[in-house]
């Protein structure tokens, strides 16, 4: 090769004999995989993490489902229940019957995941500009 062709081809300074063919590299990969493959009868000491069994995650799950649970300072928190009527100007508790409220709370608690519950609620919220007057 001439000097000008080396300038135009910056990565061609090696000869073709210096490169490993694809078949040789796949043979080496196969050998490495065979070496690292689990052998029958040999047990590896790896623990499987089950984060759903952690106390904190159990607490989160029970809270999202509205169940009775212990909080982080070991105080018993009762299950969610329908509260007394509020005295707001929208008269929500007069419009919606107690059976409907119980059904809504039950279905909301069945979602069981805080993130999904928040996503559901954010889809129901609509923002209105404040009227100054």
Residue 97 in any domain: the answer is yes
Q: Residue 83 falls within a domain, yes or no?
A: yes
Own/partner contacts of 74-83, CB < 8 Å, gap of 24 or more, are 80/105, 80/109
Q: What digits encode the pLDDT tens for the residues 90-102? A: 888 888 888 999 9
Domain extent for 68: 51-124
Q: What percentage of the chain reaches a pLDDT higher than 90?
A: 30
- Mean pLDDT of all residues in 48-71: 89
Higher pLDDT, 13 or 55: 55
- Average pLDDT of the residues in 42-71: 86
Q: Is 64 inside any structural domain?
A: yes
Mean pLDDT, residues 99-122 taken together: 93
18 pLDDT above the threshold of 70:
no
Residue 25 domain flag:
no
In a domain? residue 116: yes
In a domain, 36, yes or no: no
Residue bearing tokens 């990969």:
29
Number of domains in the chain: 1
Examine residue 108 and state whether it is found in any structural domain, yes or no: yes
3 within domain boundaries:
no
Task: Find where tokens 């759903």 sit.
Answer: 52
Helix axis angle, 114-124 to 98-111, nearest 10°: 130
pLDDT over 70 percentage in the chain: 67
Residue 119, pLDDT > 90, answer yes
For residue 109, give the H/E element and its range: helix 98-111
- Banded model confidence at residue 51, pLDDT cuts 50, 70, 90: confident
Question: pLDDT (tens digit, 9 = 90+) per residue, 61-92?
Answer: 999 999 998 988 989 999 988 888 888 888 88
Report how far residue 82's alpha carbon sits from residue 92's, in angstroms, rounded to the nearest whole number: 13
DSSP 28-53: HHHHHHHHHSPPTTPPP--PPP-GGG
3 state SS of 124? helix
pLDDT at 107 over 90: yes
């Amino acid at each position: 090769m001439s000097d000008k062709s080396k300038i135009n081809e910056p990565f061609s300074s090696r000869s073709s004999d210096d490169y490993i063919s694809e078949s040789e590299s796949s043979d080496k990969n196969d050998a490495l995989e065979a070496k690292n493959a689990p052998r029958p009868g040999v047990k590896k000491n790896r623990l499987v993490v089950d984060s759903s069994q952690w106390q904190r995650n159990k607490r989160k799950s029970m809270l999202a489902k509205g169940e009775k649970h212990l909080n982080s300072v070991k105080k018993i928190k009762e299950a969610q229940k329908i509260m007394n009527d509020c005295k707001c100007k929208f008269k929500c508790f007069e419009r919606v019957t107690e059976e409907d409220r119980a059904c809504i709370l039950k279905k909301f608690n069945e979602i069981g995941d805080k993130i999904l519950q928040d996503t559901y609620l954010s889809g129901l919220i609509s923002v209105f500009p404040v009227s100054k007057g």
